[in-house]
Every structure is written in C-alpha cells, then in structure tokens.
Amino acid sequence: MVVYTGVLPVKDPPMLKPVECLRANRTIDFACRPLSLHPPELVPAVARRVPARSDGGYRATKSNGATQETASQCPSELSSRAAVPYEPYMALKLMQIAPHEAEDPTELSLRQAFELLEPKLRPPFSLTIPKPQEYSLLNKAILYGVLYECHLGKTHIKHLHAIVTDGYGLFVSFLTKVVNELYVKLLEPLKCQLIWVTKELIDVLAVGVDGLLVCLLRQIVGGDFSDGNLWLCFEMVNILLTKWDCLLEVESMILTSGLYTYLRLLADHCRQLSNPKLEALKQLEIDFCIKVLKEQFPLCLKIGRDLVRLLQDLVHLPKFRAIWKDLVLNQGEFKSLGFSGIAQLYITRTPSQYMLLRITPEMEAQLRFLLTHVKLGSHKRHQAWFAKKFLCEPNRETVIVDIVRFICCAHHPPNEIIQSDVIPRWAVIGWLLKSCTKNYVEANAKLALLYDWLFFEERVDNIMNIEPAMLLMVYSIPRYIDITHTLLEFLFLLMDNYDAEHYDILVKGVSSSFSVCVKKGVIRSLDVLTSCDALSPILKERLGRFLLGTKFEISGKLIQARLPGHFERVKNSTCMETPTPSPESMR
C-alpha cells in the first residue's frame, strides 16, 4: 500500500472521488499546486508536506521508504494506479473557526450561492446573459468554486471570463471582501489558491485589482516571522516583480504602495541577523525597492516625506546607501523632471492611505473602536487586550511605530468625539510610548510622532497631524513630566541634527507647529511650557530662546478663543494641574 505524506489515513479501495471524500468526512490535506518555485523555508508547513519534483510533479512515499514518482502535470492528474489518489485540498468550509464561533456571513453568502448554482458551474456553460441579480450570485458561486474546488480552478476562471460584463469589478470586490474579512482564518491551502486567482486577475487587468493587492499587502504583519507571514511576504513581492508591466498599466500607485510596505518590512527583516529563512526574501525585497526607486522615481515622489523616514532606516545596506547619496548629492541620477532635491520630499505631506499599509484591517478596526467608543475609566482593559493580541509576541513591538503614525495621520476624530469623554489620541500614544521596551523602537516611535513638526506648513499640512504631540506634552505636566521633557528634548535634537543642510526648513517647521497650535486653539498659550517649574531649566531656557529667536509671541493674550471639551480645562498657570481627563489614561 502507498501512503502519501500529509494525507489523513484513508482505507484501502474503493477509490474515492473528491466529493465522496468530503461526504466520508475525509479531508485530504494538500495544497492545490506545486510550490517548487519558492524557497522551501518560505512555504507554509501545510503546503509542503509532499516534496515537489524538479519537473513540477509530486513524490509519493511508500510505507517501506521507497519513492514512487507521480504524474508531472496537475496534482489532480496523479496515476489512478495508486492505492490512494492524490486529490487537491478540499474543505467543507473556507475558514478554521472554533466550535463556539458563529458562521461568518461573508463565507455563508458565498457558499449558499455555490450550492444554489453548482449545476451551472459545470461545462457546458450556459450562453445566456444573466440578469443583474443572477450575475451577482454567479460571481459569488464562481469565487467559492475557485477557492473550494482547487482542482477545478482553471475551469471556474474560464467560466468567469465567459460571463464577465463589468471588467471583473464585482468578482474583485467579492474577493477583496474575502481578503479583508476572512484571510486571517482562511485555511492555509486556500491562501495559495487566493494568490493564484489574484495573478489571473492581474493578467486580464481586472477593474479594482490594485485595491485587492493593497488589501493583501495589509495582511502582512509587521514583526511577525512565522512561516505563513513570510510566505505571504514572498508571494506579494514576487507578484510585484513578475507582474511589473501589467501593474504599471493597472494602477501605478500599487508600486508605490508596495515600495512603502517593503521599505518598512526590510527594516524589521534586516534586524534578524541569524534567520536563514529571510535571506532569499530580503534579496527579493531589496531588488524590488531598488527597481521602483530607480525606474519609477517620479511615482515615488508622491509618497512624500515619509519616503525619507523609511529610507534612513536602510542606509546601512550598500544599495540603499547609494540611493541615499544620490538623493542628497546627485539628484540628476533619478532622471525625474522637476525634482529639485530632498527638500522637495520634506515639504510634501504623505497621503494618509500610506499610513494604513502597515496596519492590518483587524488592527485598524480595533484602534478605531478604541478611539471612537471607549471612554476614560474603561480604557485600561481595552488597552490590555489590544497589547496582548497585537504587541506581546516577540519582535511585534516594532508595529508601535506604525500605529503612532496611523493615529497621527490617518485617524482624525470629529469634534463630537474630541469634546466627549472618549479616550483621546494623545493618551493612547502616551501609553504606546510607555509600552516600548527597546530603545530603537521608542526612538522611531517618537520620530513618527514628531515627524510632521519638522516640516509643518499651515497651507499644506493638517493640524491634526501635530496635535497629539502638543497635547501629550501639555497634559503630561506635572505627573508625567518625564514624557514632556523627553519629547521636547527629542524635538530639539531632531531640529539640530536631522539634516544640517536644511536646518532652516526644520526651524521653520517647528516654529510653525508651535504657532499654529496656539493660533487654532489646541492650547491657550505656551506659558504652560515656558513657565513650568517642573521642566528642566536648561530645556526651558532652550525653548524660550527658540521661541523668541523665531519672533513667536508666547503671551497668553495671543488667543482667548473658547476651546472644545477638555482642552478648555488647560490652565495658563506656572505649572499645569493634573488635567481632566487625567493622564492616568496613558498607563
């Protein structure tokens, strides 16, 4: 008898067809197609239980240790002489859920459509043009079939090509919903199938495929070095490289989204010095990033100032050191008309959609819930739950940098929330800074918080990007004066050392930030800082000299506008009293 590695035990013949296997509750645990193109260490464990042959076929291992070669074509075409036929992965459901969990409505909707239309999903296909309602159901059924019946994936895609009337827009929207809502719990072999169908959609330049790719990029978890996460990193960078020309036609912004993602991931991957799994992946990531920077630099300019922030973490790599040198000293190398130098990037605000790229949809939902519905007093248990789920695993702390940037630049609450007793943004950021255990993570988190201060221009930038840092400094007095002291000290350190060649831009940006915070009523005046006895005398003197040197008026008479909500309670006193809401929220 032949026993296939990774297959759940199946009794001797009669041989079972896929549907019969399902009815017998015998799941055959295989990926849908060979993954021999990928480094073995990057292939999920489930997907490599049967080693691939060099010709793309599979090996079957006999019980006595001998090896029997199988067909070199599709896995579903294995020889019928085998006692247990190889069949693609088949699952009763798309997701792995606990017994107590309710069925996901998205999966249920797709499955019901598949069960309803299953007879119509077999050749020969109907030539009748479906009505809108039928078209929607048919797209759902085909999508479920593509994922559920891996061995019939090509058949289902041909069916989709035959019936499509909207440039694949509806199908892509359903697939995007699956990625956003189900990916985390999706069975591993079906993730392989999802990547395959994504490539098929790129080949036909499907409407909305750029958004689908962005959603897949967002599923890559920062600081996660598990096999499944590294496999997704590999698959996505491989798609971006191999489908380069198609992606330029589909939507050029997908390349800059990929660049932002992989510059950030590379910083984490390069800190893992003794991880052999990462070597091939890191080389691909470097190749992709350098290719985008050299061949599509005009597109890269759209990322704005955060491109500089990400590049500075990679200057220790030779290829990026060369890019950095050209960026600073030899702008002509980029062959981009109108590019005047790094100062042009400094004054370009990074669009908020880039800040979402390093936050998974699940993490985004939890952060927005925390900052929209959780009130002071009940925030600690929510923060503890969030930290346990997203921050406590080894190396996951680096995502704090991305969360801080997201809160500053991509989550701007309305006045109703600002005036309520919902936990404010500055308090969550204070808690995150206190959660940092590594010095480099804390430094990068403070840079993420203060980065827009360095280049702030009222005409271009949004005050909501700099508001959290200002309020965190003010509301930390006097109980958390160390935070006020640390942030002010770090701000002046950045201003003096971040880029000596453009010191004037940095001084202007920081001065504008202080000025606009007072002008717009974020705080009544800067007396709360310049007259605070708890602040270091040296730092207080430096702040006073800076404000006077930039002709900044610090008198409380500068503005007497009524301030919203708890901002109104900030006092123009020598040392600010513990405000309400209390900085306890930072714990």
Highest averaged pLDDT of the listed ranges 67-71, 224-228, 552-556 = 224-228
Average pLDDT of the residues in 259-265: 98
pLDDT tens digits for 13-31? 333 333 333 333 333 333 3
CA torsion 382→386→392→396, rounded to 10°?
A: -150
334 secondary structure, DSSP code: G
One-letter-per-residue 3-state SS of 416-447: HHHCCCECCHHHHHHHHHHHCCCHHHHHHHHH
Cα(451)–Cα(435) distance, integer angstroms: 20
Q: Is 277 helix (H, G, I), strand (E, B) or coil?
A: helix
Q: Residue 417 forms beta bridges with which residues?
A: none
Lowest mean pLDDT among 119-123, 261-265, 439-443: 119-123
Cα(359)–Cα(191) distance, integer angstroms: 20
Answer whether residue 2 shows pLDDT above 70: no
Q: Which helix (H) or strand (E) segment is 59 a member of? A: strand 59-61
Tell me the CA distances in angstroms from 34 to 47, 74, 230, one per residue in order: 9, 8, 18
Neighbours of 124 (CB within 10 A): 5
Q: Is 375 helix (H, G, I), strand (E, B) or coil?
A: strand
pLDDT tens digits for 87-131? 344 445 788 777 888 889 999 999 999 999 999 999 998 878 889
pLDDT band at 331 (very low <50, low <70, confident <90, very high): confident
pLDDT band at 42 (very low <50, low <70, confident <90, very high): low
How many DSSP H helices and E strands does the chain contain? 26, 2
Cα(19)–Cα(142) distance, integer angstroms: 17
Burial class of 60 by CB neighbour count within 10 A (0 to 12, 13 to 18, 19+) = buried
**Cα–Cα–Cα angle for 217, 352, 449, rounded to 5 degrees:** 105
Average pLDDT of the residues in 41-45: 48
pLDDT band at 552 (very low <50, low <70, confident <90, very high): low
Answer whether residue 567 shows pLDDT above 50: no
Highest averaged pLDDT of the listed ranges 19-28, 47-56, 270-279 = 270-279
Identify the pLDDT of residue 573: 30
Q: Residue 239 forms beta bridges with which residues?
A: none
Identify the pLDDT of residue 101: 82
pLDDT tens digits for 194-224? 999 999 999 999 999 999 999 999 999 999 9
Task: Identify whether the C-beta of residue 235 lies closer than 8 Å to the C-beta of residue 261.
Answer: no
Q: Which helix (H) or strand (E) segment is 105 a member of? A: helix 105-117
Question: Residues of 205-232 as b/e, b for ≥16 C-beta within 10 angstroms?
Answer: ebbbbbebbbbbbbbbbbbbbebbbbbb
Task: Identify whether the C-beta of residue 69 lies closer than 8 Å to the C-beta of residue 2.
Answer: no
Answer whether residue 484 shows pLDDT above 60: yes
**Residue carrying structure tokens 């001084």:** 507
Q: Residue 61 forms beta bridges with which residues?
A: 67
Cα(29)–Cα(469) distance, integer angstroms: 51
Cβ-Cβ contacts under 8 Å for 501 (sequence gap 6 or more): 328
How far is C-alpha 156 from the chain's CA centre? 30
87 — alpha (psi -120 to 50), left (phi > 0) or beta? Answer: beta
Cα(187)–Cα(199) distance, integer angstroms: 19
Answer whether residue 41 shows pLDDT above 60: no
Answer whether residue 340 shows pLDDT above 80: yes
Identify the pLDDT of residue 97: 79
Whether the full predicted model's pTM is greater than 0.85, yes or no, is no
Task: Identify whether the C-beta of residue 244 lies closer than 8 Å to the C-beta of residue 202.
Answer: no
Tokens coding 503? 């010191």
Question: Residues of 284-297 as b/e, b for ≥16 C-beta within 10 angstroms?
Answer: bbbebbbebbbebb
| Residue of 459, 458, 466 lying closest to 409 (CA atoms) | 466
β-bridge pairing 59-61 and 67-69: antiparallel
**Residues of the chain above pLDDT 90, percent:** 66
Task: Identify whether the C-beta of residue 305 lies closer than 8 Å to the C-beta of residue 455.
Answer: yes
Tell me the CA distances in angstroms from 320 to 14, 105, 266, 289, 574, one per residue in order: 60, 46, 11, 9, 48
Identify the pLDDT of residue 274: 77
Q: What are phi and psi of 422, to 5 degrees?
A: -70, 145
Mean pLDDT for all residues in the chain: 81
Higher-pLDDT residue of 376, 310:
310
Tokens coding 328? 């600073």
Average pLDDT of the residues in 319-338: 87
Q: Is 170 helix (H, G, I), strand (E, B) or coil?
A: helix
**Residue carrying structure tokens 């798609």:** 239
Q: Residue 407 forms beta bridges with which residues?
A: none
**Cα–Cα–Cα angle for 239, 241, 242, rounded to 5 degrees:** 65
Neighbours of 181 (CB within 10 A): 17
Cα(169)–Cα(582) distance, integer angstroms: 49
52 secondary structure, DSSP code: B
| Residue of 185, 176, 111, 202 lying closest to 149 (CA atoms) | 111
**Residues of the chain above pLDDT 70, percent:** 78
Q: Is 475 helix (H, G, I), strand (E, B) or coil?
A: helix
| Residue of 306, 294, 514 lying closest to 409 (CA atoms) | 306
Answer whether residue 282 shows pLDDT above 60: yes
Tokens coding 213? 């790719």
Query: What residue type is assigned to position 306 of the chain?
Result: D
Tokens coding 168? 């694949």
pLDDT tens digits for 502-548? 999 999 999 999 999 999 999 999 999 998 889 999 999 999 999 98
pLDDT band at 561 (very low <50, low <70, confident <90, very high): very low
